[in-house]
């Protein structure tokens, strides 16, 4: 009798337990981990390969990352050569056929939207120039929504048994995101036409969306660290035509922007850049809330 009761209990637990195995998602960056979780909920097991305090241009293909890719059902990355120094090596060593380029388990966010800054010709003497255009697409909320649609469809293809749940999650995200975008646009109106100095071109899409303009970069060329001579030239430039602020990401060295700020009197501002870049930026909504509020605080002073 006791054996029968145990068997009955096991059967009941099987009936009420989830009927799916969570999709394993390997996200190259925190923003795509956050988006995957928004759209997948408890149907996805998400791992972020990097944090907001890391420069994703320069990541080591560690054995632990290889193991994660080997077991992944879906790899979600920015693409457009942002991870060119480490993702191809991970994919090759992991030897996971499901997530190789061209497969349904391989998703590059930048490929889903129109990109800015696509060079007409390539010259490596000009620094770290991306042939496929600027890869930092997540900082435009409208592009991010388009990427969400594409990623939602990809999840449905990978897990067709739960397609309805993914579709519902996408619709819910779109409604909340669209409402947030209207609020962000209204709040950010005073930022239009403001000029900034950037550390790197990772703010290109954010500035384009906010109708702000980058007039100089702390990097003499993309990917090259700020030099003393270049910073001196920027000091002279700012004396003639000062920008409203100097921007850097949470992962970037603070000293160049702080030096230029001290020399020019222009406020230096750290922005979270991605999810986890500040305490408030704990999800995609918080990322934009915090970013816009920090920008507004500078021009209010």
Same domain, 162 and 226: no
What six digits make up the tokens of 145?
């929504």
Same domain, 156 and 31: yes
**Cα separation, 244 vs 196, whole angstroms:** 6
Same domain, 24 and 71: yes
Same domain, 250 and 291: yes
pLDDT of residue 89: 98
Does residue 6 fall inside a structural domain? Answer: no
Q: Point out the least confidently predicted range of 12-26, 187-201, 217-231.
A: 12-26
Residue-wise pLDDT for 132-164, tens only, equals: 899 999 999 999 999 999 999 999 999 999 999
- Among 183, 209, 234, identify where a domain stops: 183
pLDDT of residue 119: 84
Residue-wise pLDDT for 13-67, tens only, equals: 444 444 458 999 999 999 999 999 999 999 999 999 999 999 999 999 999 999 9
Same domain, 216 and 77: no
What six digits make up the tokens of 227?
């030099």
- Among 139, 163, 183, identify where a domain stops: 183
pTM for the complete prediction? 0.91
CATH number at residue 206: 3.40.50.1980
Q: Are 5 and 254 in contact (CB under 8 A)?
A: no
Residue 177 contacts by C-beta under 8 Å, 6 or more apart in sequence?
A: 141, 144, 145, 148, 284, 285
**Cα separation, 168 vs 170, whole angstroms:** 5
Same domain, 165 and 56: yes
Residue 27 contacts by C-beta under 8 Å, 6 or more apart in sequence?
A: 33, 36, 46, 47, 48, 49, 75, 76, 77
Residue-wise pLDDT for 250-289, tens only, equals: 999 999 999 999 999 999 999 999 999 999 999 999 999 9
Does residue 8 fall inside a structural domain? Answer: no
Same domain, 135 and 237: no
Does residue 265 fall inside a structural domain? Answer: yes
Same domain, 32 and 168: yes
Same domain, 49 and 153: yes
Same domain, 53 and 155: yes
Same domain, 100 and 166: yes
Instruction: Show the domain range for 44.
Output: 16-183
Same domain, 241 and 150: no
| Nearest to 72, CA basis, from 64, 81, 62 | 64
């Amino acid at each position: 009798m006791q054996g029968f009761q145990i068997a009955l209990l096991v059967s009941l637990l099987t009936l009420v337990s989830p009927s799916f195995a969570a999709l394993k998602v390997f996200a190259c960056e925190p923003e795509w981990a956050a988006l995957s979780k928004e759209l997948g909920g408890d149907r996805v097991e998400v791992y972020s390969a990097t944090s907001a305090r890391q420069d994703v241009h320069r990541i080591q293909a560690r054995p632990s990352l290889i193991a994660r890719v080997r077991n992944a059902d879906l790899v979600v990355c920015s693409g457009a050569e942002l991870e060119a120094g480490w993702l191809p090596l991970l994919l090759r060593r992991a030897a996971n056929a499901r997530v190789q380029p061209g497969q349904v388990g391989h998703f590059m966010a930048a490929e889903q939207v129109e990109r800015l800054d696509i060079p007409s010709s390539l010259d490596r003497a000009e620094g770290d120039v991306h042939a496929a255009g600027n890869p930092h697409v997540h900082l435009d909320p409208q592009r991010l929504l388009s990427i969400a649609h594409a990623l939602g469809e990809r999840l449905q293809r990978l897990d067709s048994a739960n397609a309805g749940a993914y579709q519902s999650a996408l619709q819910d995200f779109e409604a909340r995101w669209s409402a947030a975008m209207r609020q962000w646009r209204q709040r950010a109106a005073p930022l239009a036409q403001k000029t900034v100095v950037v550390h790197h071109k990772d703010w290109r899409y954010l500035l384009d969306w906010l109708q702000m303009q980058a007039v100089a970069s702390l990097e003499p060329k993309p990917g090259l660290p700020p030099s003393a001579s270049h910073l001196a030239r920027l000091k002279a430039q700012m004396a003639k035509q000062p920008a409203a602020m100097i921007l850097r990401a949470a992962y970037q060295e603070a000293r160049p922007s702080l030096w230029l700020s001290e020399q020019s009197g222009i406020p230096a501002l750290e922005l979270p850049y991605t999810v986890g870049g500040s305490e408030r930026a704990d999800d995609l909504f918080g990322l934009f809330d915090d970013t816009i509020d920090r920008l507004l605080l500078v021009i209010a002073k």
